[in-house]
Structure formats: structure tokens, C-alpha cells
């Protein structure tokens, strides 16, 4: 019963966002700024950001300037990086300083990653001393690590405080912290010794100390941990935030679940692009100019072009065989296409398993053996069908048997290649997703054609 309601609400929100975007564009074209401002008043910042992104570039800065300062900061944090850069270039210096200085440190660091170094230096100089230090701290860590994506805005408490004293302190510090649902207890050396949830704090007696109610079994990440590992920790333990500590176990920041959602989407997008043979560098693909798009895609296509010439060379070398039994040529697309698809399936499930740790308890050998058996089963089923179909097409049982046996062998080869090559890539410290479906498809094509002609020569005696 809840699912249809949720779907209806989702559709309604989507229609509302589209309506806001369309109406905003119409009002700005009519120079009705008061109407546009009134239109945006009840709209959520993330939806305003989407509406602004849908406007022509000349209108984006006009729409943004209609927002109140606090709302403008929230909207700016939700904008795509390309739109953020465009607005920075059009803002007056004071506008830029006001917005960037009030952004959360992790969002500011993410923005600075996308801006030219000259612009970043100028913006850093304009920040307040505290915000400049917070931003410099994050930018000092490697990209895609916990240190780079964390926020240094959190509430740190001493374990000697009582619950009552803590609640009073929260009232004064809450506005300066990005999160209040977790409170972090530290010792005199800033080492993390416990965590208290806001729920436990509210339900506890005002007179007891934090030491009595804090959780000492702490789940944390290190500043140098990869952002994907941070996301997995939050997902595994169902956390709203995870503390970040340095090598001395000193608390330096917090990664919140909203940042993790962005990370998961970003990493999934990169993996999907890699599986399709497209280079990804974090930019929105559909907002990238065509020359850059071509550059991202051409490398893999050139590799595939070169490897496909090998297939052509193999076929050319078998001219004598094909002159005696030309019908063999008709089944090459069937065999290579099926083998490529089987290999792509195996590589996809293995790459996904590596990324999600679903196969962490299985060794590479066990995974490859499992895929080999799956390939054999698929090959037997498809090979039997292909044998019958080939006989019905040309009425020669020997040729039909060649097709069927070749399909079994190619399916096994494709499954082994598709499951083994991601492990090989990972052993060299490379992203397993780079072993993309197009690459495996082409590799299987080359070897598959060799197998087909070898089996044909053996069975037909040519």
C-alpha cells in the first residue's frame, strides 16, 4: 500500500520541479523578477538548484541573485560544479566572498578542486582566518580520501561533563556544527574515546556524566582511507556520520551520510563509464563539450579498432578453408557475439562483487572456477540450440557440430577471461572496471575465431 503512495509522491515532486523550472524561465524572460522571487520562496534549495541548472547561462546568475543570502549558500552547494564555476566568474568579488566563506568546509573544498588554481588562491585570500584554515586542512589531504571529504565542523566534548552541561553546550555550539545527532567525546590530547548519540543524551538523567553513557566501541576511519571505504563503513554499520581520526587517533573531522550518498553515486557513475569504455573524470558527461567527449571515448575505440584488425587477419589467413566451406563464414557473428556477451556478463558480476566486497570471502580461483562452470552450462545449452539451428539453416551435420562445439569452448573461454582479467588488473593496482565489456568482447572475438576455425579443420578434415 505504501509503494503506490511513494511513487505518486515522487512523480508529484518531479512534476513540481519541472513546473518551477519552466515558470522560472518564463518569468525571467518577461523580466518579472518579483514574480520569480515569489515563485522560489516555498521551494527546497536542492530543487531551486536544479531549476537554475536548467536555465540558459545568461539567466542563471539573475535567478541566483534573487535568493536570500542563507538560502543562496544552500542552493550553491547543490549546484553542479560547472554551474558553480560559471557563477563565480560572473559574481562581484564581495558576492563570491560572502557565499564561499559561508559554505561548509567539505563543499568548499570540493568546489576548489574544480576551479583553476589562480581562482582558488584568490578565494582563499578572501576567506576568514578560521575558514581559510579549515579549507587548507582539507586540501592538504589526497583527493578521494576521508580527509578530503570530511567536515571539521563537529561537537567535541570532554567525558567529565554531565548530561545537563552537555545539553547547554550543544545549544551554544549547534549552529557552528554540521551535525548534532552524534557527539564525540575526546580526552586531553584530542583522542577519540567515545561517542554519544543525541537520543541517548535526551533520554538520560541530567546529573550523570558522559563517560557513563558514551559508546566506547567506536567505528571510525583514518584520514588516508579511500572515500569508497568510508562509504562502505557508513553503509555497513548504518551510521549517519563516521568520525575521522589521524594516525594518533586524534579526532580531526566527520564524514556525514549526505556526502556518502554523493560518493556512491560518483563511484557508480565512474564504474559504469569504465565498463562502457568511456573515461570519466568527475564532470557531468552531458554538460561537457563534444571535443572533450570525443577525447574521453576515443582511446578505447582505437584499442578496439586495432584488436579487431587481428580478427580480420585471422579470417584472411583461413581463405583456403572458407573457399572449400564458405558456409562457415555465416556463423562467425553468432559465435563472436555470444562469446562477447558471456564474457561481459562474467566481468560485470565480478567487478561489481569486487566493488561491494560480495566476493571478499571467496578467493580469485574459486570465483573463476564458478564462472567457468557457469560458462560450461551456458555453452552446453546454447551450443545445443546452435547445432540444431545451424543444421536447419544449411543441412550439414558436420558444420552444425563444429558450430555447437565451438560455442561451448568460446563460452567457457569468455567466462574465464571475463572473471579472471579484473583480478589481474586489481593485482597491478588498476581499477578492475577498466577491464570493460568492449575490451573483453574484442579479446574473446580474436581467440574465438581461432577456436572456431581450428575445430572446423579438425572435424571437417580440411
Q: How many CB atoms lie within 10 A of CB 170?
A: 16
pLDDT at residue 4 in the model? 42
3 state DSSP class of 220: coil
Same domain, 270 and 295: no
Q: At 132, which CATH number? A: 1.25.60.10
> What number of residues does the chain have?
462
Q: Are 395 and 300 in a shared domain? A: yes
Q: What CATH number is given to the structural domain containing 456?
A: 1.10.357.20
Flag whether 2 is in a domain: no
What is the arrangement of strands in the sheet containing 192-197, beginning at the earlier edge strand? 156-158, 182-186, 192-197
Report pLDDT for 2: 46
Q: Given this model, what pLDDT does residue 308 score?
A: 74
pLDDT of amino acid 427: 85
Does some domain include residue 146? no
Q: Are strands 221-222 and 192-197 parallel, antiparallel or unpaired?
A: unpaired
Whichever domain contains 203, its CATH number is 3.10.580.10
Show which of 83, 104, 139 is a domain's final residue. Answer: 139
Torsion sign (Cα): 378, 381, 382, 387: positive
How many angstroms separate the Cα of 421 from the Cα of each of 226, 350, 426? 23, 10, 9
Say how many C-beta atoms besides its own lie within 10 A of residue 47's C-beta. Answer: 18
E-assigned strands of 211-279?
221-222, 241-245, 251-256
- For residue 277, the model assigns a pLDDT of 63
Residue 144 within any structural domain of the chain: no
- DSSP code of residue 327: G
pLDDT number for residue 363:
84
The answer to whether 248 and 148 are in contact (CB under 8 A) is: no
Return the C-alpha cell found at 158: 570532554
Shared domain for 75 and 160, answered yes or no, is: no
* Last-in-domain residue among 276, 299, 329: 276
Regarding whether 254 and 312 lie in a shared domain, the answer is no
Question: Considering the domain boundaries, does residue 147 fall inside one?
Answer: no
Same domain, 315 and 448: yes
Angle, helices 33-40/57-65, rounded to nearest 10 degrees:
70
* Helix-, strand-, coil-residue percentages of the chain, each rounded to 5: 70, 10, 20
Q: Write out the three cell numbers for 221.
A: 576511519
Cα distances (angstroms) measured from residue 296 to each of 282, 290, 293, 431, 442:
12, 10, 5, 17, 19
Q: Which domain holds residue 221?
A: 154-276
pLDDT at site 244: 96
- Residues 305 and 444 reside in one and the same domain: yes
Residue 101 within a domain: yes
- The whole-angstrom separation of Cα 252 and Cα 246 is 7
Asked if residue 175 and residue 108 are part of one domain, the reply reads: no
Is 28:62 a contact under the CB 8 Å cutoff? yes
Task: Among 222, 244, 276, give the residue marking a domain's end.
Answer: 276
Question: What's the CA gap between 261 and 264, in Å, rounded?
Answer: 5
Asked if residue 85 is part of any domain, the answer here is: yes
Q: Are 188 and 72 part of one and the same domain?
A: no
User: Within a domain: residue 356?
Assistant: yes
Instruction: Check whether residue 254 and residue 312 sit in a common domain.
Output: no
Q: Is the domain of 230 the same as that of 122?
A: no
Torsion, CA 71, CA 76, CA 78, CA 79, rounded to 10: 140
Q: Are residues 443 and 305 in the same domain?
A: yes
Q: What is the pLDDT of residue 6?
A: 42
- Total structural domains within the chain: 3
Q: Is residue 282 part of a domain?
A: no
pLDDT in the model for residue 264: 82
Q: What is the pLDDT along the chain (462 residues), one digit of tens a residue?
A: 444 434 434 556 677 778 888 898 899 899 898 898 889 888 888 889 988 888 888 888 889 988 888 888 889 988 988 888 888 887 777 777 788 888 888 888 888 887 878 788 888 888 888 888 888 889 889 988 999 999 998 999 998 899 999 999 888 887 777 788 899 999 988 999 999 998 999 999 999 999 999 999 999 999 999 998 999 899 889 899 999 999 999 999 999 998 888 888 877 777 777 666 666 555 566 666 777 777 767 777 777 777 778 878 888 888 888 777 888 888 888 898 899 889 988 988 898 888 777 787 788 899 999 999 999 999 999 999 999 998 888 788 898 999 999 999 999 999 999 999 889 888 887 777 765 666 777 788 888 899 999 999 898 876
User: Cβ of 368: how many Cβ atoms within 10 Å?
Assistant: 20
pTM of the complete model: 0.68
Which pairing describes strands 192-197 and 182-186: parallel, antiparallel, or unpaired? antiparallel
450 and 335, same domain (yes or no):
yes
Note whether 335 and 410 are within 8 A (CB).
Answer: yes
Amino acid at each position: 500500500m505504501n509503494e503506490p503512495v511513494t511513487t505518486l509522491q515522487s512523480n508529484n515532486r518531479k512534476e513540481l520541479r519541472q513546473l518551477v523550472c519552466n515558470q522560472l524561465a518564463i518569468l525571467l524572460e518577461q523580466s518579472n523578477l518579483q514574480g520569480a522571487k515569489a515563485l522560489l520562496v516555498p521551494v527546497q534549495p536542492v530543487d531551486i538548484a536544479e531549476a537554475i541548472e536548467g536555465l540558459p547561462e545568461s539567466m542563471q546568475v539573475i535567478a541566483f541573485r534573487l535568493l536570500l543570502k542563507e538560502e543562496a549558500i544552500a542552493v550553491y552547494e547543490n549546484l553542479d560544479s560547472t554551474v558553480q564555476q560559471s557563477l563565480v566568474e560572473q559574481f562581484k568579488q564581495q558576492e563570491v566572498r560572502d557565499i564561499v566563506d559561508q559554505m561548509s568546509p567539505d563543499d568548499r573544498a570540493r568546489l576548489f578542486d574544480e576551479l583553476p588554481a589562480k581562482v582558488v588562491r584568490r578565494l582563499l585570500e578572501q576567506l576568514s582566518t578560521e575558514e581559510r584554515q579549515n579549507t587548507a586542512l582539507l586540501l592538504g589531504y589526497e583527493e578521494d580520501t576521508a580527509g578530503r571529504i570530511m567536515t571539521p565542523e563537529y561537537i567535541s566534548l570532554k567525558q567529565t561533563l554531565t548530561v545537563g552541561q552537555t545539553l547547554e553546550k550543544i545549544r551554544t555550539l549547534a549552529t557552528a556544527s554540521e551535525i548534532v545527532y552524534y557527539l564525540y567525546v575526546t580526552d586531553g590530547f584530542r583522542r577519540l574515546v567515545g561517542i554519544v548519540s543525541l537520543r541517548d543524551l535526551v533520554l538520560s538523567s541530567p546529573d550523570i556524566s558522559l563517560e557513563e553513557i558514551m559508546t566506547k566501541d567506536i567505528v571510525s576511519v583514518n584520514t588516508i582511507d579511500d572515500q569508497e571505504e568510508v562509504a562502505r563503513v557508513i553503509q555497513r554499520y548504518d551510521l549517519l556520520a563516521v568520525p575521522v581520526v589521524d594516525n594518533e587517533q586524534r579526532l580531526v573531522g566527520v564524514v556525514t551520510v549526505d556526502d556518502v550518498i554523493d560518493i556512491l553515486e560518483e563511484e557508480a557513475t565512474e564504474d559504469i563509464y569504465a565498463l562502457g569504455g568511456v573515461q570519466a573524470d568527475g564532470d557531468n558527461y552531458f554538460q561537457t563539450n563534444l571535443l572533450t567527449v570525443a577525447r574521453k571515448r576515443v582511446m578505447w575505440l582505437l584499442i578496439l579498432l586495432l584488436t579487431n584488425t587481428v580478427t580480420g587477419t585471422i579470417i584472411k589467413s583461413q581463405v583456403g578453408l572458407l573457399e572449400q566451406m564458405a558456409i562457415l563464414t555465416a556463423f562467425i557473428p553468432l559465435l563472436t557475439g555470444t562469446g562477447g556477451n558471456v564474457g561481459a556478463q562474467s566481468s560485470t558480476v565480478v567487478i561489481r562483487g569486487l566493488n561491494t566486497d560480495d566476493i571478499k570471502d571467496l578467493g580469485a580461483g574459486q570465483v573463476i572456477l564458478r564462472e567457468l562452470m557457469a560458462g560450461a552450462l551456458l555453452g552446453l545449452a546454447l551450443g545445443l540450440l546452435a547445432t540444431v539451428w545451424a543444421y536447419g539453416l544449411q543441412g550439414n551435420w558436420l558444420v552444425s557440430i563444429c558450430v555447437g562445439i565451438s560455442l561451448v569452448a568460446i563460452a567457457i573461454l569468455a567466462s574465464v577471461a571475463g572473471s579472471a582479467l579484473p583480478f589481474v588488473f586489481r593485482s597491478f593496482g588498476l581499477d578492475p572496471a577498466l577491464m570493460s565489456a568492449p575490451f573483453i568482447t574484442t579479446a574473446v572475438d580474436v581467440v574465438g575465431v581461432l577456436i572456431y576455425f581450428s575445430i572446423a579443420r579438425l572435424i571437417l578434415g580440411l
